[in-house]
Amino acid sequence: MFHIVWDWQGLLMLLFSAVASLFCITVHELSHGYIAYRLGDPTAKNAGRLSLNPIKHIDGFGLLMMLMVHVGWAKPVPVDPRYFREPKRGMALTALAGPASNFLLATVILGMGSLLYPLGFASEVWAYVVLFLCYTAVLSVGLGLFNLIPIPPLDGAKIFYAILPDRLYRVMLRYERYVRYAVVLLAVLGVFSGPLDFCIGWVIRGLCALTRFPFPMIQIYFGF
């Protein structure tokens, strides 16, 4: 009987992780497209990417990585820098919007969790609701931090490009597609997992202090 209960709990945790991943990825990509649109680029809007429909944003392998090692990615939102008045600045702001939305999302979710946490003691259902919020907050912070790494094709590289001289900027763009294969390989090998887990723990601790959500509850499940 114990093994049957444990299997159901494992499936539930997998479901939590899948739904939370889809939610975080959708918010991340929607934010890219929305800021680009506000800056004058209609490319994402015309491609139907200003949507909360996760199917429009899913990259199958990136989602699988999110589920397995909590490091992943979505299908990039199309952006045409020619629409921006200042292309490098526009690309940097568009790139920054994704991670920023993930940190904001985690803050809002933990704020909700701090209100619902006392109800978790009232029933098992509420306890699982609070646990799902924890999963979503941790995955959202992880997605935001991972994308801030200044390596192509991650958002951090596009933010970093904004301070590069034009000549060096063009060189980096030329070799960007080759570097992305190395990033995928490093993610598969789990190279990013250790440093990211450390950073996620500190960010989540700070957000818990800000929202008054009990950090020890997250520690129990994630080991930060």
Helix axes 215-222, 124-147, angle to 10 degrees: 80
**Per-residue DSSP letters for 136-169?**
HHHHHHHHHHHHTSSSTTSHHHHHHHTTS-HHHH
CB 66: neighbour CB atoms within 10 A?
25
Catalytic residue among 29, 86, 124, 176: 29
Look at phi and psi of residue 154 and say left if phi exceeds 0, alpha if psi is from -120 to 50, else beta: beta
| Annotated catalytic residue 29 | yes
Give the Cα separation of 144 and 103 in Å (integer).
7
Find all residues with CB under 8 Å of 99, minimum gap 6, and list them: 28, 143, 144, 145, 147, 148, 155, 156
In the chain, beta strands by DSSP E? none
Active site residues: 29
